[in-house]
Structure 1
């Protein structure tokens, strides 16, 4: 990547999604937020809807989605979000979602995910965290490519994690068929894939006016950690030299996602990784901040794109032309 000065903004660690979106008019814009019925997905959707966007909550549990939509619409003047079913681990579900989408799409926030789960595989043999966090979102974004291109200046937001520091994409054995399964390594690999996707998609889709950026939302207690108890979280933090981690509220955790989706400061900028509402510096050993070189490696990004297409059998919705 060409060296550049990391982008800064007036916002920071304590900023909320509402503060980031304040004064921005999203009337006439359409947005999709995956995992929009829990955690920072709710606050991301709320902020976008409050600014006038037509928001679709893409969720596995549509009943929870409907409850969230009602709650968001309770705010005066806020349009009720739409709700659509999407199971990222099920390629048929992704294909159904993309096939049903009609018209332009201005904002796609790839927010849903799973963290440090026990070893599970899809019926195709794909490791579940990689299948959900990366392959599902890859198929979704490529399946919606025409709609993103039609919007003119569309943005895609890829929610990653500082856990990407734990592992790059192990191309020789992505799905843990030969190496012992380790939950955090699997999670880290999938989160590196989220950043690599942003790098390659921004390059491939530049002529369509689509920009893609990745981010670390911060440490937030949400349903994402349903497989992780407090003792395990503490063990993981200690192992990464990150004891004394500061927790964010969901409203603060959604701020960087919303910044990448709507801020004029990000106009035309893609393929980067942000944390605390600013572009991250290169990772320094012993810290859990910054972005690892392996996550921004353009060769790895291009390879991951090809591997993802091959893994999906070349039949991911809408991928034939791209």
Structure 2
């Protein structure tokens, strides 16, 4: 059973398992992308511990199988399976969606890359935008029939306070004109996550599908592997950060307890709706207006649909 509430006794120090304590997700299916490392593992673990049938959608099947076995051994989880997914390769996205059977109650768009050197997909798409947004957009739209069949499905879009560094660069999405900037590319992709959730709710609420985005918090995982080592070490000293289990808490909160729908908050942090702010506070808190712009959300959806149709 899902318990929807806008106010709950959870916060920055809560863990994903604490969020699902007392919930019964038996009979519900969940798919978590990027579920073989970081907060993806803990998101999947909590959903499985509450009784959901969980699919770990991962690039590395061997790592996924190790994670699945770890989840099975650490919980009373029922079904935990592994499926191949490379968000930079839409053939794998479409194959996963085509192989899905039955309703899908929870889709957690968790996988992501950050501040990479300039990389491009075979289609020429800038890699951070391709993986963080376009791949997840293609997955969600391909799984729309399964989400609609669930009757109350939820989509969780893992964004970041990094959205503050850039809105959507509609005139140069893939840095084909301007010099590549890894920070702007990451920020654009994270803004896209929020706008996707906003527009998915607007378009699909009548199908019983709602969505919201979130900032998991400052968590030191493999996501930061492209950072300068000295910068990373300094940031770790300044911001001890959350554990992966604490970082997954807001994802699980949005997936199970948050009140979602048209007109409800579209971006969460520390298991609560975030405040709209003119600039990100302390590098972590708040959501900027450009990430909640309904006109930009509609435009991005249409542009994204056109882009993936060419691949």
Match of 1:224 in 2: 223
Distance 1:188 1:76, change over 3 A: closer
Q: Between Structure 1 and Structure 2, how many residues are aligned? A: 304
Distance 1:234 1:166, change over 3 A: farther
Q: Aligned-residue CA RMSD in angstroms?
A: 1.9
Distance 1:194 1:284 in 2: 19
Distance 2:160 2:215 in 1: 4
Match of 2:246 in 1: 252
Distance 1:24 1:119, change over 3 A: same
Distance 1:73 1:283 in 2: 41
Please give the residue correspondences for 1:84-123 in structure 2 after superposition, counting only pairs within 5 Å.
Answer: 84-123=83-122
Q: Which deviates more, 134-143 or 73-82? A: 73-82
Please give the residue correspondences for 1:73-222 in structure 2 after superposition, counting only pairs within 5 Å.
Answer: 73-222=72-221
Distance 2:161 2:121 in 1: 25
Per-residue deviation, 1:74: 0.4
SS at 1:285's partner residue? coil
Among 253, 259, 276, the residue aligned to 1:266: 259
Please give the residue correspondences for 1:236-251 in structure 2 after superposition, counting only pairs within 5 Å.
Answer: 244-251=238-245
Alignment partner of 1:293 is 2:289: yes
Distance 2:309 2:135 in 1: 13
Deviation track 1:108-166 (CA, whole Å, cap 9, x = no partner) reads: 00000000000001111100000000000000000000000000000000000000000
Per-residue deviation, 1:182: 0.8
Deviation track 1:23-74 (CA, whole Å, cap 9, x = no partner) reads: 0000000000000110000000000000000000000000000000000100
Query: TM-score under structure 1 normalisation?
Result: 0.90
Deviation track 1:269-307 (CA, whole Å, cap 9, x = no partner) reads: 656000111000012436231001000000000000010
Query: TM-score under structure 2 normalisation?
Result: 0.93
Distance 1:22 1:268 in 2: 24
Per-residue deviation, 1:312: 1.1
Distance 1:36 1:184 in 2: 24
Distance 2:280 2:54 in 1: 40
Asked whether the equivalents of residues 46 and 72 of structure 1 are also in contact (C-alpha less than 8 Å), the reply is yes
Per-residue deviation, 1:80: 4.4
Structure 1 unaligned residues grouped into runs of 5+? 1-5, 316-322
